[in-house]
Amino acid sequence: MVANITDVPPPGYFIREELEARGWSQRDLANVLGVPDQAVNLITAGKRGITADMAKKLGNAFDVSPEFFLNLQKSFDLFKAPEADPGVAKKAKLYTHYPIREMAKRGWIATDDDAEQLESEMIRFFGVGATDDIPHLAHAAKKTSYADVRPAQLAWLYRVRQMAQEIVVVRYSRNAARNALTRLTALLGAPEEARHVPRILAEAGIRYVLVESLPSAKIDGVCCWLDEKSPVIGMSLRYDRIDNFWFVLRHELEHVIREHGQQAAMIDADIETANQADIPEEERLANEAARSFCVPQKEMTSFIARKQPYFAERDILGFAGRLGLHPGLVAGQLRRHLNRWDLFSKHLAKIRFAVVPNAVVDGWGDVAPVAKKRT
């Protein structure tokens, strides 16, 4: 057999050449190897592959390494194998960068075994023209506004934006946002009062969305804008606690009032444990506003100075009652100050039960009815 130079010949082709050079017959080789004539005939005819055991015998017979024959067999097997479906690489790229299975489970995208369909769904979800325009899938040299944002967080953000586009609110104004703050302050005494939050924000022109976090996102909230007059606050309620809820909400509202996030969304993850000494100025300002909103900081500083290192339950309850606050807000501030997240847990009331029924929500078993259109 004469192999075409564009083909990869079977290992038997090289064995026959070696036999010819040595003046051996196939029977001679069978005798040397101690195998039946038929075993050699099938290999030289390209009808049987070379096993590891045979590779060792051939290596000894021809004084070469067994790997030589195994590599010949591997190259021939790869040559014979059908071309891989190009969709495999497409799907692998998408699965590598994004939590596809979780996004499909949540109803954000429709996915099946078809790579083209999955690609189309991701293009639709991110509102782009091609796969390479999806953030984190572009070529390495192509810079994006979200280069430092994890893909799961970015998927969460885009879901927030999708849902926000479905909400109708009055025209936003900064004065209305500041007035909303006064109204929100009156809700800090009881968890159930949080049910009013979506309506108060909507009346200030702020779209408010709740999207359950993806497992790997570890995201708390976001401030983004649909346009210069359409702010959006998205929250994950990752921690179902009264202190975390009000801190994250006020943090994002400060971003809105200061018009942060108009160029690129202000995505806030792990707010509680972030290194406060190494954060951007926008985040520092938002944190200061959130702390003062939850508990006036002059009062908090005085309380800590008087009571530390021991904070009795009656002191926490008395201090919160005097300020008209739920004790969970005081407990949350103390946990931050002491960096002791195991303390005062009994005061950290749940709050999701009050907010979810009155908000635009995706998650916790519900899928938001978002139109299938580009964002």
Angle between helices 281-294 and 297-307 (to 10 degrees): 70
**pLDDT of amino acid 124:** 92
| Cα separation, 344 vs 93, whole angstroms | 45
**pLDDT of amino acid 55:** 92
| Cα separation, 5 vs 219, whole angstroms | 57
Which residues on adjacent β-strands are paired with residue 234? Answer: 209, 222
In this structure, are residues 29 and 14 in contact, taking their beta carbons and an 8 Å threshold? no
**pLDDT of amino acid 319:** 96
- Name the DSSP letter for residue 373: S
Pairing between β-strand 219-225 and β-strand 231-235 as defined by DSSP bridges: antiparallel
pTM: 0.79
Domains recognised in the chain with CATH numbers:
11-80 (1.10.260.40), 86-133 (no CATH), 151-362 (no CATH)
Beta strands in 171-230 (DSSP E): 207-211, 219-225
**pLDDT of amino acid 246:** 98
**Per-residue model confidence as pLDDT tens for the chain (375 residues):** 444 445 788 898 999 998 999 999 999 999 999 999 999 999 999 889 999 999 999 999 999 999 999 999 999 888 888 876 777 888 888 998 899 999 999 999 987 678 889 999 999 999 999 888 888 764 333 334 565 788 899 999 999 999 999 999 999 999 999 999 999 999 999 999 999 999 999 999 999 999 999 988 889 999 999 999 999 999 999 999 999 999 999 999 999 999 999 988 999 888 776 666 678 899 999 999 999 999 999 999 999 999 988 899 999 999 999 999 999 999 999 998 888 888 999 999 999 999 999 999 999 988 777 655 544
**pLDDT of amino acid 137:** 65
Phi, psi of 361 (to 5 degrees): -130, 140
Phi, psi of 79 (to 5 degrees): -65, -40
Q: Which residues, in sequence order, are CB contacts of 127 under 8 Å at separation 6+?
A: 158, 374, 375
Phi, psi of 224 (to 5 degrees): -140, 170
Beta strands in 226-337 (DSSP E): 231-235, 266-269
| Cα separation, 151 vs 163, whole angstroms | 19
In this structure, are residues 360 and 210 in contact, taking their beta carbons and an 8 Å threshold? yes
DSSP string, 50-111: PPHHHHHHHHHHHTS-HHHHHHHHHHHHHHHSPPPPHHHHHHHHHHHHS-HHHHHHTTSS--
